Structure 1
Amino acid sequence: MIQQIVDTINGIVWGPITLFLIVGTGVFLTFRLGFIQVRSLPYALKLVFTKSKKGDKKEKGDITHFQSLMTAMAATLGIGNMTGVASAILLGGVGALVWMWVAAFFGMATKYSEAILAVKYRTVNHKGEISGGPMYYIEKGLGWKWLAVLFALFGFLASFGIGNMTQSNTVAGSLQATFNINPWITGFVLMVLTALVLLGGIRGIGMINAVFVPFMALFYLSGGFIIILLNITEVPAAFAVIFEAAFNPQAAGAGAIGIAIRYGIARGVFSNEAGLGSAPIAAAAAKTDYPGRQALVSMTGTFLDTMIVCTITGLVIVMSGLHLQLGADAAPVLTGDAFESFLPGFGNYIVVFGIIFFAYSTIIGWSYYGEKCFGYIFGDRNTIYYKIVFCIVVMIGAGQTVQLVWDIADIFNALMAIPNLIALCLLSGVIVSETNRFREVRKREKAEAKKLAG
């Protein structure tokens, strides 16, 4: 009965209007910003992987550019990159991968826009910590307090789905299948580990993720790269199958194009979170001199998440052919089985430990998002109650049924995205203005650099 109700709501909130709004907002912002995700990506990546200027330490903010991105990446680099990709392929066919890429390309402009507004409209709470995100730019930029509260409510509730139950549930399922560990034991351990980190606040979260995220990403990506390099001759055929299924599903033996689009976009958003309004909450905490600079850093998160990590997962699954043999409920094990088929006795462990690292970091990242949303509604002084409940739900989620957990997460993702996307469209003039302002700054910086070089 509960599953039927959830399925009905899911079908409504993830209907054509929401899908159009998500992709349409990205397309709209891409054109308004002159394809910034193409023109500025090299500089954005340089900002991520080079040391911040010494002067940045004097800027407002709680964490560095890199720590901010890693906190956002901690929340996005999760089971969406493994189980989410597998789920998209099983439910929407391999063509869903193309629609994940399309959504991610335009989502980079969306992610950039979210961050630029988050930094511009951020504020300082009673603890002296930075608070920002869609609830603040909706209230300050649009003057719509009611919509800001609505976003914060959905964000607070979403943190228990996308950033909590789905993560602990997948970790518990993987450990039970691989090592026969009781899900409730896994849930308890995750709850304790989460509670320990939450005591450190955003600075503690930022420092941990700055080390944790690069390590876990390299660990998982190394396994994927090895498989692809050892089977490089099969890669062109895999891409051919993917694109044929996306645009000619009958010929590829897949389902309807609409199904591929629906699951490709839904799981893509679950993975990279572009448009949800979650990542700008972390972006707002960054030490930066201009909103545009941090916005470029945030934009790279979508590129790294979907274009790199999800693509590697998708290629390994397609090359394995296992998606043709398993049912829709096999998403939790498909990626592990695919890796194992290429690296017997070792591949499954790459995915299992990848899931543990990715899911735990996502729980930590989303705890911060949920805390900020909760604090916006109920006051920062009361966030301790949120932290306690969040930790308890980590354990509860480990023992729930997989489909119900994922479907609830999908619902709150959509409900959270809608107020945020409306705000991005209505505040697009501010986004363009801040972008132009930063372009002038970049021109001056380039001129100064030329003088020094000359």
Structure 2
Amino acid sequence: MIDLVQNVLDQDREFIWSYIFIAVLICCAVVFTLRTRFVQFRLVREMVRLLLNPDKVQPQEIGHDELSMDVRVDGEMKHISSFQAFVVALASRIGTGNLAGVATAISIGAPGARCRRCKRAWLGSTSPFHHSTLAQLYKRKGKTSFYGGPAYYMKYGLGKGWMGILFAVLMIITFGFAYNSVQSNTICLAWQKAFGIEPATMGIVLTALTLLIIFGGIHRVAKFSSTVVPVMAVVYLLVAVGVVIWNITCLPKVLITIVENAFGFNQAAGGVLGITVIQGIKRGLLSNEAGEGTAPNAAAVATDSHPVKQGLIQALGVFTDTLVVCSCTAFIILVSGVDVTASNGIQLTQDALTHEIGSIGNPFVAVMIWLFAFSSIIGNYYYGETNVRYIKDSKLGVFVYRLAVAAMVMTGAVVSLDFAWSFADITMALLTLCNLVAIVLLSRQAVFLLQDYRQQKKDGRNPVFCKDKMPEIADKLEAW
């Protein structure tokens, strides 16, 4: 029965990715880049400035009353900063795609996927700019914080409630269930290799810890992510830099291999160029999530004076993930000189690091993948919860969803690696296609907001948005 399901998943995945998804993804990235006049290149400095030194704006400066800037409950103000929204989104981005996904692409003969990922990151970062800006524009006011995401701009921006429900269901399945099974699966494989812990035992521990965090709500999720994500990214970067410096003489050869592979010289001769390109895009999207519509769920929570601020900050997340963390894994594997066909996924990364730093490599990667993947489980959970509340905001619904997420974390611990990845690939593609349709239709609004933002910057002002600037949709903009 399991083999039959696996075969069906493989066939569906092959059809969607080979004939539909990649063409749509590339076309949208090009269109968005042209419409925004290459915003990902022109405003990089502004992205960094907003993240490191966010503008301080008083509620009255943006036409809000005191309660709408930070929602007050029982006299307590609860605020999610731009940085916290950024790291919640980054927590979901930085996961198995960075350590296991990169290794998987390399193991099938696609070291050039690293170079192709960088190019797609620069091109595809306009998608998160669009959907995070739109999520801010159409965000809603909750009891303790703002909330929103693609389902909300589909409902209020497009006037298509059914499309919002479809997206919400796909988001719950993809992130709450499929992706979390992948994260759990990878953690268990890494810890089994490093410490000999059985997957079922590790699955029980992961499930218990997941329940402990997710029953704390978004504020506990934000606090956990803002503490763990920066630390783990810096540590992993330092180790990768150390490995590259230690093998500096091998670096020119590695770079030549990546470039040759990226442009298909070797694969074209072998007839496998299409396979490596598709594999690179799959793992690249799982890693940086450009276009999926995930980051907007976190972006909508942030308190900003202008929707474009969060759009720019979230676009920067794609660079952080792809250009920094994924590159670390690729260089660790390629400079180590290990046989990339001898193992797969996270275990290849473990073999490479063990080769470079000795027996501590195995447990080090196991600990890092636990931090990377577990932070993703928490971020993924929050994305799903937002969409559960969109369908029906009930305590019972959220409670059932939390238990279902925990069950999928446990399931991921014991299923096969191929099954976990196949399930995630299919749901990822369907989710992204749904979101891309929406942001194509609403792209004009994101471009208008970008022009308004830039004009205010030119006038020497801290950009501020008021719904009166878009009177045709003013009645849909609850939070402005």
Is 1:188 matched up with 2:204? yes
Is 1:59 matched up with 2:69? yes
Q: CA shift at 1:145, angstroms? A: 1.7
Which residue of the partner structure matches residue 8 of structure 2? 5
Which residue of the partner structure matches residue 320 of structure 1? 336
Q: Quick one: which amino acid aligns to residue 357 of structure 1?
A: L
Distance of 2:9 and 2:109 partners within structure 1: 19
5+ residue gaps, structure 1, are 449-454
Given the two structures, how large is their TM-score scaled by the length of structure 1?
0.93
Is 1:115 matched up with 2:125? no
- 1:417 maps to which of 432, 447, 451: 432
Moved more, 387-396 or 170-179: 387-396
Structure 2 counterparts to residues 25-424 of structure 1, below 5 A: 25-50=28-53, 53=56, 55=58, 59-60=69-70, 62-91=79-108, 93-125=110-142, 127-250=143-266, 256-326=272-342, 330-381=344-395, 382-424=397-439
Q: Quick one: which amino acid aligns to residue 58 of structure 2?
A: G
Distance of 2:358 and 2:320 partners within structure 1: 28
Q: Quick one: which amino acid aligns to residue 417 of structure 1?
A: T
Q: CA shift at 1:394, angstroms? A: 1.0
* Contact 1:98–1:264 (Cα < 8 Å) also in 2: no
Distance of 2:70 and 2:31 partners within structure 1: 31
Distance of 1:387 and 1:123 partners within structure 2: 22
Distance of 2:89 and 2:27 partners within structure 1: 23
Query: The residue matched to 1:345 in structure 2 has which SS?
Result: helix
Which residue of the partner structure matches residue 437 of structure 1? 452
Distance of 2:33 and 2:100 partners within structure 1: 29
Name the CA shift for 1:251/1:27 in 2 (closer, same or farther; >3 Å).
closer
Distance of 2:459 and 2:364 partners within structure 1: 47
- 1:15 maps to which of 13, 18, 22: 18
Distance of 2:454 and 2:367 partners within structure 1: 42
* Contact 1:317–1:323 (Cα < 8 Å) also in 2: no
Q: Quick one: which amino acid aligns to residue 156 of structure 1?
A: I
Distance of 2:436 and 2:462 partners within structure 1: 36
User: How much is the aligned-residue C-alpha RMSD, in angstroms?
Assistant: 2.0
Q: CA shift at 1:427, angstroms? A: 1.1
Q: Quick one: which amino acid aligns to residue 10 of structure 1?
A: R
Aligned residues: 445
* Contact 2:207–2:406 (Cα < 8 Å) also in 1: yes
Distance of 1:92 and 1:152 partners within structure 2: 36
Moved more, 106-115 or 355-364: 106-115
Identical counterparts, % of pairs: 34
Distance of 1:271 and 1:180 partners within structure 2: 27
Distance of 1:323 and 1:425 partners within structure 2: 43
Which residue of the partner structure matches residue 452 of structure 1? none
Name the CA shift for 1:51/1:169 in 2 (closer, same or farther; >3 Å).
same
Q: CA shift at 1:321, angstroms? A: 3.1
Name the CA shift for 1:323/1:63 in 2 (closer, same or farther; >3 Å).
farther
1:88-109 CA-partner distances (Å, limit 9, x unpaired): 1223521222222222111211
Name the CA shift for 1:161/1:14 in 2 (closer, same or farther; >3 Å).
farther
1:334-361 CA-partner distances (Å, limit 9, x unpaired): 1111111111122333321110000110
